[in-house]
């Protein structure tokens, strides 16, 4: 998906927890398809970081035309054994972060 967008001329802001992996992916993407892309480290379970991600992206790229909510986590546990904290983590990343990013980018 990212390569296809980059081939069409999109400038990408890549976000995730691991800055080193993001940087390596961005460099690989730029080597393979070109373009001027950025990586922004963000913990999607942290509401403050989520709320800062869209303005940081807009400042860096000048705007957002397409938002791809592609992050998600799971806790390998049956619902009956899942702790409240694990459930909260899943909801925070998979649902709340996606909602906050869409709202901020609109």
CB 15 within 8 A of CB 37: no
**pLDDT tens sequence across 62-86:** 999 999 999 998 887 788 888 999 9
pLDDT at 79: 82
Residue whose C-alpha is closest to residue 100's, from 3, 2, 24, 15: 15
| pTM of the predicted protein model | 0.83
What Å distances lie between residue 30 and 69, 82, 102, CA to CA? Answer: 21, 41, 26
User: Residue 31 — pLDDT band, cuts 50, 70, 90?
Assistant: very high
Fold of 2-105: Rossmann fold (3.40.50)
**pLDDT tens sequence across 3-20:** 999 999 999 999 999 999
**Ranges of each domain in the chain:** 2-105
CB 6 within 8 A of CB 66: no
pLDDT at 32: 94
The two counts, helices (H) then strands (E), for the chain are: 5, 2
pLDDT at 75: 83
Residue % of the chain over a pLDDT of 70: 100
């Amino acid at each position: 998906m990212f390569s296809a967008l980059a081939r069409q001329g999109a400038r990408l802001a890549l976000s995730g927890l691991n800055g080193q992996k993001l940087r390596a992916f961005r460099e690989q993407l730029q080597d393979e398809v070109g373009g001027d892309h950025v990586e922004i480290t963000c913990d999607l379970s942290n509401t403050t970081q989520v709320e800062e991600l869209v303005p940081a992206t807009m400042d860096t790229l000048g705007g957002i035309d397409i938002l791809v909510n592609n992050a998600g986590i799971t806790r390998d546990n049956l619902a009956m054994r899942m702790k409240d904290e694990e459930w909260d983590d899943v909801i925070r990343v998979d649902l709340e972060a996606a909602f906050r990013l869409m709202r901020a980018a609109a």
